[in-house]
Amino acid sequence: MTDSPFAAVRHDWTREEVRALFDRPFLDLVYDAQTLHRQFHTPNAVQRSQLLSIKTGGCAEDCAYCPQSAKYAKEVCLKADKLMDVAVVMERAQAAKAAGATRFCMGAAWTRPKDKDLDAVAEMVEGVKSLGMEACVTLGMLEAYQAQRLKDAGLDYYNHNLDTSPEYYGEIISTRTFDERLETLGHVREAGINVCSGGIVGMGESREDRVGMIVALATLPNHPNSVPINRLVQVKGTPLEGTPEIEGLEFVRTIAVARLTMPKSVVRLSAGRETMSDELQALCFMAGASSIFYGEKLLTTPNPLENRDTALFEKLGLVAA
């Protein structure tokens, strides 16, 4: 096989270059994305991560897409829960492993974790690791010493998304800045934890914002090891309810451009699969996605049932990575 012209790992992507990728004929874009994918990743292999919300609702942030913000909770009826017991988390992790997930991702609706809570999360991470699974958490902003504490507990991945372009960011979140997100990613990277960072599309942003989001991710000092591309799950009562949906082919383009600009990263087809056809998901895998969230629930919203995913894997000849 001829090496893809995109094989060099670059951190100097410009807006013009990324815009030009988005503008390419669809088939050229997807063909090159899949060709490059095969140079760095196993063909037909898809990794499965299972999510669990370990602390739901009552969040002080105002992310316009999120049903867990206290600001929108009254309409959405997501009451604030306490942090889950370690024993319950372990049961859920065991079930996820039995169902075929290789990574267990725990999410908390916090601005940032308190140190007392971090001790409990560290215990959960140790528990998940003891099952032989990879552990991932997403807890909001993190200080350097907190990242180190999680690293010491054996954490494999920390998820913290840039969410959108720096220009559109202010339309979506007012309580934390884009730069604060970059700072947290720096702390995670410096602690030696794998970075999981991506964004959401379908929030009413323009293509230029999708260009800006990919440029922001692809020009980080290291590309995130894992890049989740979420399609907005519209939740009743959140400000983004009723936003016109992003077209399927434009979603595939976003995946393909993430693939081409960050060759070694694992691109995850993340939230939004529940309302996607098998055909659209197949195109996303063709465009270079090779990881999914697995199990009937994301954090608080539905995800395809396991039997639908099993059937999809069979139909496409995909194997679990």
Q: Considering only residues 230-259, where is the footprint of ligand SAM by CB under 6 A?
A: 230, 232-233, 235
Is 66 designated active site?
A: yes
Residues 241/204, Cβ–Cβ less than 8 Å: no
Residue 164 touching ligand SAM (CB under 6 A): no
Phi first, then psi, for residue 50 (nearest 5°) are: -110, 135
**Contact partners, residue 184, CB within 8 Å, separation at least 6:** 140, 141, 142, 160
**Least Å from the CB of residue 101 to ligand DTB:** 13
Residue 122 CB: number of other CB atoms within 10 A? 19
The one among 21, 59, 240, 257 contacting ligand SF4 by CB under 6 A: 59
Residues 54-83: x/- map of binding to ligand DTB (CB under 6 A)? -------------x----------------
List C-alpha distances in Å: 213 to 15, 36, 208, 218.
Answer: 10, 21, 9, 9
CB nearer to ligand DTB: give 184 or 270. Answer: 270
Is 63 designated active site?
A: yes
The one among 69, 161, 261, 291 contacting ligand SAM by CB under 6 A: 161
Residue 110 CB: number of other CB atoms within 10 A? 20
Q: Spot the catalytic one: 48, 92, 105, 149.
A: 105
CB nearer to ligand SAM: give 105 or 252. Answer: 105
Phi first, then psi, for residue 199 (nearest 5°) are: -165, -170
Residue 233 touching ligand DTB (CB under 6 A): yes
**H or E element in which residue 160 lies:** none
Please identify which residue in the block is written with the tokens 């060709």.
35
Q: Considering only residues 63-122, where is the footprint of ligand SF4 by CB under 6 A?
A: 63, 66, 68-69, 109
Cα of first residue to Cα of last residue in the chain, in angstroms, is 22
Q: Angle, to 10 degrees, between the axis of helix 207-218 and the axis of helix 248-261?
A: 20
Is 284 designated active site?
A: no
Q: Spot the catalytic one: 48, 103, 149, 196.
A: 196
**DSSP string over 66-82:** -TTBTTTHHHHT-PPPP
Residues of this chain that bind ligand SF4 (CB under 6 A): 59, 61, 63, 66, 68-69, 109, 140
Mind telling me the catalytic residues? 59, 63, 66, 105, 136, 196, 268
Residues of this chain that bind ligand DTB (CB under 6 A): 51, 67, 105, 107, 138, 159, 161, 198, 228, 230, 233, 270-271, 298-301
Residues of this chain that bind ligand SAM (CB under 6 A): 65-66, 107, 109-110, 138, 140, 160-161, 163, 200, 230, 232-233, 235, 271, 299
